[in-house]
Structure 1
Amino acid sequence: MQPFSYVRPETPEAAVQAFAAVRSGARYIAGGTTLYDLMKLGIERPAHLIDVTAIDGLDTIDSSDRELRFGALTSMSTVADDPVLRHDYPVLHEALSRAASQQLRNMATIAGNLLQRTRCMYFRNGASSTSSVGAYPCNKREPGSGCAAISGHDHGQAVLGQSKACTAVSPGDWPVALTAMDASVELLGAAGRRTIPVSRLYRLPGTKPHLEFTIRPDELITCITVPKTRAGRASTYHKIRERESYAFALASAAVALDLDGDRVQQAHIALGGVATRPWRATEAEQALIGKRLTPALARAAGRLALKGARPGNANAYKIDLAIHTVADALIIALGRAA
């Protein structure tokens, strides 16, 4: 049993102050659907838990002429069931409603979901051979120990964004949809408030795969904002998995289209399940602009989205799967534009 202290502040500022007061070993906790798992596995060993669920005003959904605003503590199920999202932004609705189970969606918050860590089996079930936890080296768990997945079972590993130190897939659905829709997060920390795009929240593994996020440890996500766009209605989150519920993506695509007649004026494409972070396919987006979207063009865009993919020992299937996933998502979005 790992002992820890526990506080429950009532404002964002008080939460940040509580973090600063202990300086090290602190973690914010909301729904707990990720952190508790990591504590049980011995991956996270916080000495201090700062429960932010008593903070008032961070569980709301607001809409203006320019943007959608989601309070950080709003549950995944509440946002997924929002009628505006269902009608005007199906890519956001589907990304949430197809994630996890209903019970987990009722507990998990939309901000906490952005910070979930990989489901790589070596990360979750192993550690360095010098550790008492397991016999598999993992640079995310123990920096410098190595990566067992590179020469091991890599059926579910990334084909985009890998490094010689890590091939673990970024697990989320919601972050992929937010990346496609140019969303941002508002942060509060000891240095004050700032806003960054969701696409800049995640690091590539490089030589330091244990550093997964760009936010500082003391920073608290307070809000997620999504710019309003006509492309929202002509959108989808297309997720391919081994079973229809409670499964992570083998490949997924978040797609939104802005059309003028039958010509693409703007395209949003992001991939999940195949990369080490939510993967924006900008070259594929550019290839669609000004053109009439056909099944052949959709497949060509899918191939561009996977440009530079590098398979491992047993995950080459993901490249072809993701190409078809992107192509299918584009055609689904096109149908919704009509």
Structure 2
Amino acid sequence: MRPFAYERPTDAATAVALASVPASAHVTAPVQYKGGGTTLIDLMKLDVMQPTTVVDITAIDDEAMHRIVPSDEGLRIGSLVTMAKLHADPSVVRDYPLLTESLWQAASQQLRNMARLGGNVLQRTRCLYFRDTSYDQCNKRVPGSGCAALDGSNRGHAVLGTSDQCIALYPGDWAPALVALDARVEVLGRTGKRLIAFADLHRLPGTTPHIETSLSPGELITAFIVPGGPRRRSLYRKIRDRESYAFANASAAVAIELDGRTLRDVRIGLGGVATIPWRAHRAEGMLRGQELTEANARAAAEAEFGDARTREHNGYKVVLGKATMVRALLDAQAMEVPR
């Protein structure tokens, strides 16, 4: 690990001032925030990330950033809340099972105790070519260098949202749940606070895969806002190589409202198959207002994966992704929902 300066501000404005230096918003930015550090420190040890300054935000004395606040309008979650704290919150367990299930199936208990939710949604790709600096070709790590995964080992790479410059997978479990629930993100920058749709937080790789989010340099996530709407009949299904501590080969975050067997509303987020947390708008459009049958669910899944682009080793993700979506929809239909 390279030498770096360490700052531990006690208020958010000071943290933002320390981090708001002229820089491009990618891996080479000289200042990085650290929450739990479960991703950042790992990548610093691998020499993938080389910040000259680390700003530890865990000492920020802003109660709102550490609290979970439910209301009739929805849910406000501070960005410094740990994964473990949200997963154990009784009101979230009852009213937002999708959020708690996706956290329970992520990482290990030790990591969930450390990791903060703001950092969780910004975790970096698990692509081996990104994380191993002995490979020269990685447009995400070294812009313009190429993508070794295109013709390399790509079993774990994305099939949706890819480009000729990058096929790296977004690895998180909680983000597909947030995108399915139409969450918003509160961020603080030098000019003040702003709200953005969670669906707009992550950027498709396109020709600039090194720019992963819509955040400006120095902007700090302070909270997540989850509105009301379909939430109690919601769940998360994750398929992985082993049951414990493994990233998704395919996952589906589903929230539905039923009128008998007809879908009054349906929200679907996909993980394990795309370069960003993926909102399945095409499938939702086909299902909304229709009877939820296995045949209709399969047709919607076929349509959602119609534009999938596979490489030599990851074609199975299309079959698995469709089956996971169908299973999640039918399991949500069969849920017993508390009144």
Flag whether TM exceeds 0.5 (same fold).
Answer: yes
Q: CA deviation at 1:337?
A: 5.6
Q: CA deviation at 1:25?
A: 1.4
The 8 Å contact of residues 17 and 218 in structure 2, kept in 1 or not, is answered as: no
Q: CA deviation at 1:276?
A: 0.5
Show CA shifts across 1:58-85 (max 9, x none).
1110011111011110000100111122
Partner of 2:297: helix, strand, or coil? Answer: helix
The 8 Å contact of residues 233 and 336 in structure 1, kept in 2 or not, is answered as: no
Partner of 1:232: helix, strand, or coil? Answer: coil
Q: When the two structures are superposed, what TM-score results if normalisation uses the length of structure 2?
A: 0.94
Q: CA deviation at 1:18?
A: 2.2
Q: When the two structures are superposed, what TM-score results if normalisation uses the length of structure 1?
A: 0.95
Partner of 2:149: helix, strand, or coil? Answer: helix
The 8 Å contact of residues 136 and 145 in structure 2, kept in 1 or not, is answered as: no
Find out whether 1:120 has 2:127 as its counterpart: yes
The 8 Å contact of residues 116 and 172 in structure 1, kept in 2 or not, is answered as: yes
| Correspondences of 1:93-242 after superposition (within 5 Å) | 93-126=100-133, 134-229=134-229, 231-242=230-241
Partner of 2:321: helix, strand, or coil? Answer: helix
1:50 aligned partner, one-letter code: V
Show CA shifts across 1:140-159 (max 9, x none).
11111111100111111111
Corresponding position of 1:3: 3
Show CA shifts across 1:116-144 (max 9, x none).
01001111114xxxxxxx13411111111
Show CA shifts across 1:243-294 (max 9, x none).
0111000000000101122211110011101010011111111111222111
- When structure 1 is superposed on structure 2, of 290-299 and 66-75 the one drifting more is 290-299
Corresponding position of 2:259: 260
Show CA shifts across 1:88-120 (max 9, x none).
211111111100000000000011001001001
Corresponding position of 2:33: 28
Cα separation, 1, equivalents of 2:147 and 2:21: 35
Name stretches of at least 5 consecutive residues in structure 1 with no aligned partner: 127-133
Cα separation, 1, equivalents of 2:22 and 2:53: 8
Cα separation, 2, equivalents of 1:102 and 1:93: 13
Cα separation, 1, equivalents of 2:219 and 2:66: 18
Which portions of structure 1, spanning 4 or more consecutive aligned residues, are displaced by more than 4 angstroms? 21-24
| Correspondences of 1:60-79 after superposition (within 5 Å) | 60-79=67-86
Corresponding position of 1:276: 275
Q: CA deviation at 1:303?
A: 1.3
For this pair of structures, how many residues does the alignment match?
A: 330
- Of residues 50, 56, 59, the one that matches 1:54 is 59
Corresponding position of 1:314: 313
Cα separation, 2, equivalents of 1:21 and 1:159: 35
Cα separation, 1, equivalents of 2:320 and 2:21: 49
Q: CA deviation at 1:211?
A: 0.7
Q: CA deviation at 1:17?
A: 2.0
Q: CA deviation at 1:22?
A: 8.8
CA RMSD of aligned residues (A): 1.4
Show CA shifts across 1:203-249 (max 9, x none).
111111111111012100000110022x2111111000000111000
Show CA shifts across 1:147-188 (max 9, x none).
110011111111111101010001111111000000011000
Find out whether 1:83 has 2:83 as its counterpart: no
Corresponding position of 2:26: none
Cα separation, 2, equivalents of 1:86 and 1:35: 29
Residues 68 and 283 of structure 1, relative CA distance in 2, 3 Å threshold: same
The 8 Å contact of residues 241 and 250 in structure 1, kept in 2 or not, is answered as: yes
Name stretches of at least 5 consecutive residues in structure 2 with no aligned partner: 24-28
Partner of 2:112: helix, strand, or coil? Answer: helix
2:109 aligned partner, one-letter code: Q
Cα separation, 2, equivalents of 1:253 and 1:93: 14
Residues 233 and 138 of structure 1, relative CA distance in 2, 3 Å threshold: same
Partner of 2:241: helix, strand, or coil? Answer: coil
1:39 aligned partner, one-letter code: M
Residues 296 and 208 of structure 1, relative CA distance in 2, 3 Å threshold: same
1:264 aligned partner, one-letter code: L
Residues 281 and 217 of structure 1, relative CA distance in 2, 3 Å threshold: same
The 8 Å contact of residues 162 and 205 in structure 1, kept in 2 or not, is answered as: yes
Instruction: Using the aligned pairs only, state the percent identity.
Output: 51
Cα separation, 1, equivalents of 2:265 and 2:297: 14
